[in-house]
């Protein structure tokens, strides 16, 4: 029997993109809920992601960090230098097809806990599945403006943790905590 897993997501948006977004109330809601951070400049500098992961490692035991080698080489090297174990996940039908099928089944069975994040739900709603001739699935965007980054990151992580889910460790007591509670510094 496969266990459950908890997804803790966070996303970043560059100030330039935030300024030109047509739906700032939606972004502001995600910022207020703690799911999204606006960072200065035209792009998300890897240091913001690095700092967040280091901060999270104070609260959680991070076993591995999965990464897409095409987009995160510098970040990955910095994380390894800090002491994190990282593993690349090749982006392709064969590599992600099985994990995607399993992720879908676990979502349908209610075994994916994501604190009802409205940002993660938005990512899920933006996913369109494409299929190769061998019936392997791959996620893609519904359109160019419909981001799926948070889902893609969760899927990359899921590709690494499937073995851990078959035989879960610990007492299996799972609670729910909001991102704002997690980030609060008392």
Q: Among 166, 146, 149, which residue's Cα sits nearest to residue 102? A: 166
Instruction: Return the half-sphere exposure (C-beta side, CA atoms, 13 A cut-off) of residue 176.
Output: 6
CATH code, domain carrying 47: 3.30.420
Residue 158 domain-assigned (yes or no): yes
Say how many domains are in the chain: 1
What tens-digit pLDDT sequence spans the chain (186 residues)? 467 788 888 999 999 999 999 999 999 999 999 999 999 999 999 999 999 999 999 999 998 899 888 878 889 999 999 999 999 998 888 889 989 999 999 999 999 998 889 999 999 999 999 988 888 889 999 988 889 999 999 999 999 887 777 765 566 665 656 666 656 665
In a domain, 183, yes or no: no
Provide the phi-psi class of 51: left if phi over 0, else alpha when psi is between -120 and 50, else beta. alpha
In a domain, 177, yes or no: no
Domain limits at 25? 5-167
25, part of any domain:
yes
Q: Note the pTM of the prediction, 2 decimals.
A: 0.83
């Amino acid at each position: 029997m496969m266990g459950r897993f908890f997804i803790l997501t966070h996303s970043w948006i560059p100030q330039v993109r935030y300024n030109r977004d047509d739906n700032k109330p939606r972004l502001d809601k995600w910022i207020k809920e703690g799911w999204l951070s606006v960072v200065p400049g035209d792009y998300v500098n890897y240091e913001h992601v690095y700092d967040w992961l280091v901060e999270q490692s104070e609260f959680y035991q991070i076993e591995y960090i999965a990464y897409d080698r095409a987009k995160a080489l510098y970040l990955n090297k910095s994380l390894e230098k800090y002491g994190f174990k990282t593993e690349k996940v090749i982006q392709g039908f064969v590599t992600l097809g099985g994990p995607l099928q399993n992720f879908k089944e676990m979502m349908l069975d209610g075994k994916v806990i994501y604190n009802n994040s409205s940002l993660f739900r938005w990512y899920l709603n933006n996913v369109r599945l494409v299929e190769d001739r061998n019936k392997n699935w791959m996620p893609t965007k519904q359109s160019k403006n419909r981001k799926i980054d948070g889902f893609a990151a969760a899927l990359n992580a899921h590709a690494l943790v499937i073995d851990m889910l078959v035989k879960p460790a610990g007492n299996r007591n799972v609670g729910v905590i909001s991102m704002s509670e997690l980030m609060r510094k008392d």
